[in-house]
Amino acid sequence: MSAPATASGAAPPDLLRAQENAVVQMVTIGPVAEELAVRFADAGHRLYLVGGSVRDALLGREVSDLDFTTDARPEEILAVVDGWTDAIWDAGIAFGTVGARRRGTTVEITTFRADAYDRVSRNPVVRFGDTIEDDLVRRDFTVNAMAVELTGPERRFVDPYGGLAALAAGTLDTPAAPEESFADDPLRMLRAARFVSQLGLTPAERVLVAMTNMAGELARISRERVQAELNKLIIGTHPRRAIELMVDTGLCDQVLPEVPAMRLAIDEHMQHKDVYTHSLVVMEQAIERETDGPDLVLRLAALLHDIGKPDTRRKEPDGRVSFHHHEVVGAKMVRRRLRELKYSKAIVDEVAQLVFLHLRFHGYSGGEWTDSAVRRYVTDAGPLLDRLHKLVRSDCTTRNRRRAAALQRSYDSLEERIARLREQEALESIRPDLDGNEIMRLLGIPPGPQVGKAYKHLLALRMERGPLTHEEAEAELRAWAADNLS
């Protein structure tokens, strides 16, 4: 949406005004924002819809929570919203932010900011600004530095740093020099990768240069904040592009160093550029198999499933490259890295287990697994079985169509075997045919290690032979006890 320039290089004022009006019409202002604007205007203050709320409205994306900025100071904001909100919170009031909820809509209202940063942490020395331009220049990217004034005689679009043109061009740039912006808050570099994933934007050349030169500054940011941005990036629309940006600029060395390390390992099939490229393809193929929206655990497992390969790479006598037990090594590496990034125990366990199990299927090949092996596959996967199915199928990236079709048919066969056994047995809840209480009663022993050993023996039998009758289970238990408890 660019206007033709006059001889002086500026667009005609009438055309610029028409352009601004068109943009304002694109930004739908809901009743909650209308009410808030009236209250601020009546109190003699200016109020602007700002940042991501304006950006997403222009992109036609759903806007649920609203961000505003104002010339009112925090205590004045509280006075304006007093009696209007259904709930209010002021945890961020030291930074000029008041949060509120009105009829299910969450709003954040922040006083104009003109902060300075100490360049050691990412904590600003809070200083309130006097103009909307002061506020917008301190924001992370130009696409987030647009505002719509709601309290004037008529609505006005404010875009001093070219955010609309950048959005139209699909460009990610900073209002100030990127070196200044990233020095103030290094997390903005990771946020750039997040916007590449979420919005499909392409960083400006100067942004790429600054990210590359300043990647090490990300070490100043807490792991919790890094993880939060990484999650948003991974579940975005274009995570591969974002990961490639992180690797190319060196950011990934600060967040997931195991990912760029995979560029050193050649795939054992000698058909992929490297394990890194293969892993990105697997992640994309896993995304195509998602059925209930973005799955963070599946995507992380797909991206990281082969990170054990560099450490297990060996050249065999026949010249081929092998990565024996890389799934075991990789699962340990995943645990270490995700714990370092402060992921929850549940996510760490789930991603690591998927990495550990992702090669198990390849022992199935022509379908020669016993029912016992199928039971173990299902039991070891547990609630992750559906994700494991998707990961294993996605791990096939061979260009050989015949081999790819054979692998898919083989996995079809395994899933059919699982379905048949499910009809006969409760596969997801396999337990021994006798529980701990029955073991103690039949053998006349108290709680202790021997009960656990007997339980494991009966579980192994259950896996191997399927369900036993109660009489068969008792006979097996007594036979085990005769050899182990005498």
Show me where the domains of the chain are located.
Answer: 13-169, 178-255, 258-429, 436-484
- pLDDT (0 to 100) of residue 42: 96
Same fold, 13-169 and 178-255: no
- pLDDT (0 to 100) of residue 120: 62
Write the single-letter amino acid at 64. Answer: S
- From residue 283, give the alpha-carbon distance in Å to each of 240, 311, 396, 447, 456: 8, 21, 11, 47, 37
- pLDDT (0 to 100) of residue 154: 85
Domain formed by 178-255, architecture: Orthogonal Bundle (1.10)
Report the candidate in 158, 157, 208 with the shortest Cα–Cα distance to residue 182.
208
- From residue 127, give the alpha-carbon distance in Å to each of 25, 49, 50, 177: 33, 20, 19, 20
- What phi and psi values does residue 63 have, to the nearest 5 degrees? -115, 110
Q: How far is CA 127 from the centre of its chain?
A: 33
Report the candidate in 290, 268, 307, 284 with the shortest Cα–Cα distance to residue 395.
284
- What phi and psi values does residue 334 have, to the nearest 5 degrees? -60, -45
- From residue 363, give the alpha-carbon distance in Å to each of 252, 357, 391: 33, 11, 16
- pLDDT (0 to 100) of residue 308: 95
Sign (positive or negative) of CA dihedral 423, 429, 431, 435: negative
Query: What phi-psi label fits residue 361: left (phi over 0), alpha (psi between -120 and 50 degrees) or beta?
Result: alpha
- What phi and psi values does residue 429 have, to the nearest 5 degrees? -130, 45
Q: Which segments of 215-312 does DSSP mark as H helices, in order?
A: 223-234, 239-249, 251-255, 258-261, 275-288, 296-304, 309-312
HSE (side-chain half, CA atoms, 13 Å) at 42: 9
Cβ pair 16, 91 in contact under 8 A: no
Task: Please name the fold of domain 13-169.
Answer: Beta Polymerase; domain 2 (3.30.460)
- pLDDT (0 to 100) of residue 268: 53
Distance separating alpha carbons of residues 211 and 464, to the nearest angstrom: 56
- pLDDT (0 to 100) of residue 402: 85
- pLDDT (0 to 100) of residue 6: 37
Residue 476, number of CB atoms within 10 A of its CB = 20
Residue 322, number of CB atoms within 10 A of its CB = 14
Cβ pair 358, 396 in contact under 8 A: no
Burial of 192 (0-12, 13-18, 19+ CB in 10 A): buried
Cβ pair 252, 260 in contact under 8 A: yes
Cβ pair 5, 11 in contact under 8 A: yes
Report the candidate in 115, 100, 20 with the shortest Cα–Cα distance to residue 68.
100
Distance separating alpha carbons of residues 465 and 462, to the nearest angstrom: 5
Residue 206, number of CB atoms within 10 A of its CB = 13
Task: Please name the fold of domain 258-429.
Answer: Hypothetical protein af1432 (1.10.3210)
HSE (side-chain half, CA atoms, 13 Å) at 241: 15
- From residue 56, give the alpha-carbon distance in Å to each of 148, 165, 199, 378: 13, 15, 10, 43
Cβ pair 72, 80 in contact under 8 A: yes
Residue with tokens 């940011």: 221
pLDDT tens string, the chain, 486 residues long: the values are: 444 343 344 455 565 565 666 667 667 778 899 999 999 999 999 999 999 989 998 888 887 789 999 999 999 999 999 999 999 998 888 889 999 999 988 999 999 987 666 656 556 667 888 899 989 999 999 999 999 999 988 888 999 999 999 999 999 999 999 999 999 899 999 999 999 999 999 999 999 999 999 999 999 999 999 999 999 999 999 999 999 999 999 999 999 999 999 987 555 555 445 899 999 999 999 999 999 999 999 999 999 999 999 998 888 888 788 888 999 999 999 999 999 999 999 999 999 999 999 998 887 766 678 888 888 888 889 899 999 999 999 998 877 788 888 888 888 888 888 888 777 665 555 677 788 888 888 888 889 888 888 888 888 787 777 778 888 888 888 888 888 886
- From residue 163, give the alpha-carbon distance in Å to each of 14, 21, 145, 170: 20, 16, 6, 10
- pLDDT (0 to 100) of residue 466: 76
Distance separating alpha carbons of residues 208 and 433, to the nearest angstrom: 62
- Beta partners for residue 171, in sequence order: 202
- Write the DSSP symbol of residue 5: P
